[in-house]
Amino acid sequence: MTTTYDKTDERLLESESPRAALSGFGRRIRSGDLGMAPVVIGLVLIWVIFFLQNDRFLSSRNLVNLSLDSATIGMISLGIVLVLLLGEIDLSVGSVSGVGGSIMAVLLVYQGWPLLSAILLALAVGVAIGTFYGLLFTQFGVPSFVITLAGLLAFLGVQLWVLGSRGTVNLPVDSWIIEFANFKFLSDPVSYALAVVIGLAYLGTRLRTIQRRRAANLSAPSFRGAVIKAVLMVAALLFGAWYLNQDRGVGYMPLFWVAMIVAVDLVLRRTRFGRSVYAVGGNEEAARRAGVPVNRVYITVFAAASTFAVLGGILAAGRLQSVAQSSGGTDTNLMAIAAAVIGGTSLFGGRGSAYAALFGMLVLQSITSGLNLIGVEAEVRYIVTGAVLLLAVTID
């Protein structure tokens, strides 16, 4: 007699005790279900190595700077995660981010638009670009690689056209976007309160899930396990807030980036659209036969990716306090894509998490920050980044 069981139920039972959870984690590792383990372990190793080379690496000042620098390209990488979940690619996010930042800056500085209106129009352009990509992909069957490669070149030209002979546009020093990206931080009491609120929200969500599963006569983790996890989360968040508060504190921009990641994760895990994204990425034909609106999923995801690219370009403009012809260029594309892949998103679709953008970007920015602190040249940084990317894909 063959016994079958729900894999989800097995994982819930494993959380009844720390020993069972550790045993279950070991079984998943041996079976190849690595999850976020490689990138988390890699991040810890990177931090330890650079701390041993230069103890300023883990100083509160450097970690605050690291969080601020991660948020801009990290926001772009969030859109890349969505596209990769479908098994597709967007090579134009760097150029699109440059276009978005340029539109916002020109409208604000030279056309006298209110900042909010300029940002909304730039975001609308991002939606239009992604929708156009999606229509080309679904209606004409043009591969996403070709579409977005063409977009990379075309929107680089659009950016140069928008900026015109000015070349560089400096944002007003009193602009709110500059304040948001560089100088806005939570006060100490607010940061501690936020840590507690996040822990309570997590606990409430877990307890509701436990209650619903037990009401449906399904296996569920224990209340004790949920409480322990929530307490540990609050303790970790309080310590992180306290440590960052030794310098400037928790920045508005990194907090906004993390909030967007959490929101996208909830959409992917808790909504019909999110399940459709995984279904299409896993097996498009099976998803189509199951009634999933495949074309709509593709168009929506491409539109979201371009919108996140524009949002990242706007944040980068605020962080640098200007927009130039090089904005969105250099290694922006490569860093955004590499962060998504290093964070654990599969290049083959159907597997990954929104948190890949968070952990992958922290890995890359940690490498950049650490190598800069120990005085290593830029060429070494590219070599190391390429090696880490290759390792991540090999593990995948």
Rounded Cα–Cα distance for residues 370 and 372 (Å): 5
Q: Looking at the domain assignment, is residue 278 inside a domain?
A: yes
Residue 287's pLDDT is 93
pTM score of the predicted model: 0.90
pLDDT of residue 25: 58
296 in a structural domain: yes
Q: What angle do CA 186, 321, 98 make, to 5 degrees?
A: 110
Question: Which residues have CB under 8 Å from 98's CB, separation 6+?
Answer: 155, 156, 159, 313, 323, 327, 328, 329, 332
Q: What pLDDT sits at residue 218?
A: 80
On the question of pLDDT at 117 being above 80, the answer is: yes
Residue 35 has pLDDT above 90, yes or no: no
Give the span between the Cα atoms of 223 and 227, in whole angstroms: 6
Q: Degrees (nearest 5) of the Cα angle 131, 95, 393?
A: 85
Q: What is the pLDDT of residues 151-197, one digit of tens each?
A: 999 999 999 999 988 788 999 998 999 999 999 999 999 999 999 99
Residue 202's CB is within 10 A of a number of other CB atoms, namely 16
Q: How many domains does the chain have?
A: 1
Mean pLDDT of 107-125: 95
- Is 80 exceeded by the pLDDT of residue 227? yes
Per-residue pLDDT at 210 exceeds 90 = no
Report residue 265 as tokens. Answer: 């994760």
Strand-pairing partners, residue 170, are 322
**Average confidence score pLDDT of the chain:** 88
What pLDDT score does 138 carry? Answer: 95
Structure tokens given for 115? 């900042």
Dihedral angle of Cα 335, 337, 342, 344, to the nearest 10 degrees: 150
What percent helix, strand, coil does the chain show, rounded to 5?
75, 0, 20
Lowest average pLDDT, out of 26-40, 82-96, 223-237, 294-308, goes to: 26-40
Name every residue whose Cβ is closer than 8 Å to that of residue 49 and which is 6 or more positions away in sequence. Answer: 370
Residue with tokens 């919108």: 307
Residue 14 has pLDDT above 50, yes or no: no
In a domain, 16, yes or no: no
Residue 139, CB-side half-sphere exposure with 13 Å CA sphere: 7
Measured between its terminal Cα atoms, the distance across the chain in Å is 35
Instruction: Name the percent of the chain lying above pLDDT 70.
Output: 91
pLDDT given for residue 376 in this prediction: 80
In a domain, 341, yes or no: yes
Inside any domain, residue 34: no
pLDDT for the residue 4: 38
**Range 335-354 average pLDDT:** 90
Look at residue 26 in the predicted model and tell me its pLDDT. Answer: 65
Residue 2: is its pLDDT beyond 70? no
The enclosing domain of 161 has a CATH number of 1.10.3470.10
Q: What is the pLDDT of residues 240-287, one digit of tens each?
A: 999 999 999 999 999 999 999 999 999 999 999 999 999 999 999 999
> Alpha-carbon distance 130 to 97, whole Å?
12
* Nearest of 231, 232, 256 to residue 119 by alpha carbon: 256
With 50 as the cut, is the pLDDT of residue 6 above it? no
Q: Is the pLDDT of residue 8 over 70?
A: no
Identify the band that residue 219 occupies on the pLDDT scale cut at 50, 70 and 90: confident
Full residue range of the structural domain in which residue 295 is found: 58-184+252-395
Closest among 72, 96, 239, 103 to 169, alpha carbons compared: 103
Q: Has residue 47 been placed in a domain? A: no
The answer on pLDDT for 111 being more than 50 is yes
* pLDDT > 60? residue 201: yes
Q: Quote the tokens at residue 320.
A: 């640098």
CA 261 to chain centre: 6
Average pLDDT over residues 224-230: 88
Instruction: Give the up-direction half-sphere exposure of residue 361: CA atoms within 13 A in the CB hemisphere.
Output: 28
**How far is the C-alpha of 109 from the C-alpha of 116, rounded, in Å?**
13
Q: Is the pLDDT of residue 198 over 50?
A: yes
- Residue 30 maps to a domain: no
pLDDT of 386 reads 82
Among residues 44, 20, 8, 24, which one has the least CA distance to residue 359?
44
What is the tens place of the pLDDT at every residue in 63-74?
Answer: 999 999 999 999
Hey, what are 294's tokens?
Answer: 């495949």
**How many Cα atoms sit within 13 Å of 318 on the Cβ side?**
27
pLDDT at 18: 56
| Residue 331 pLDDT | 82
**Predicted pLDDT at 15:** 46
